[in-house]
Amino acid sequence: MEIARAYEEVVNFIATQTPHSSLMAFRPSDQAKDRVMELVHKEKENGLAADEQSELDQYLQLEHLMRLAKARAKQNCIE
C-alpha cells in the first residue's frame, strides 16, 4: 500500500507543478520509443533477458505514471 501512496504523491506533484501545456505536450524521445519497440519485438520473438525485462517494465511504469499525471492535470483544469 505504501508504494501506491508514493505513486500518488509523484503523480500529484507532476500534475500540479508542471505547466499544463508542457505536461500535455510531453512525448518520449524517438530514441526511447525505438528502444521500447525493440524490447517489445524481442519479447514476442525470443523472450527477454532479466535485465531487458526489467528495463521494459520500467518504461511501462513511466508511461503509466505520465498517463496518470496527464489525466489528473486535465481533471484539475475542469474542476
Can you spell out the DSSP letters for 31-72? HHHHHHHHHHHHHHHT---HHHHHHHHHHHHHHHHHHHHHHH
Residue among 1, 2, 15, 9 at smallest CA distance from 67: 15
Q: What value does the mean pLDDT of the chain take?
A: 94
Place of cell 517494465: 57
* pLDDT (average), residues 14-41: 96
Cell of 54: 526489467
29 by DSSP, 3-state: which? coil
Task: Report the predicted TM-score, pTM, of the whole model to 2 decimal places.
Answer: 0.86
Tell the residue number behind the cell numbers 524490447, with chain if given.
Answer: 39
- Averaged pLDDT for residues 43-61: 97
The whole-number average pLDDT for the span 4-30 is: 94
User: Quick one: average pLDDT of 27-35?
Assistant: 97
Predicted local confidence at residue 79, as pLDDT: 60
Q: What mean pLDDT is predicted for residues 33-38?
A: 98
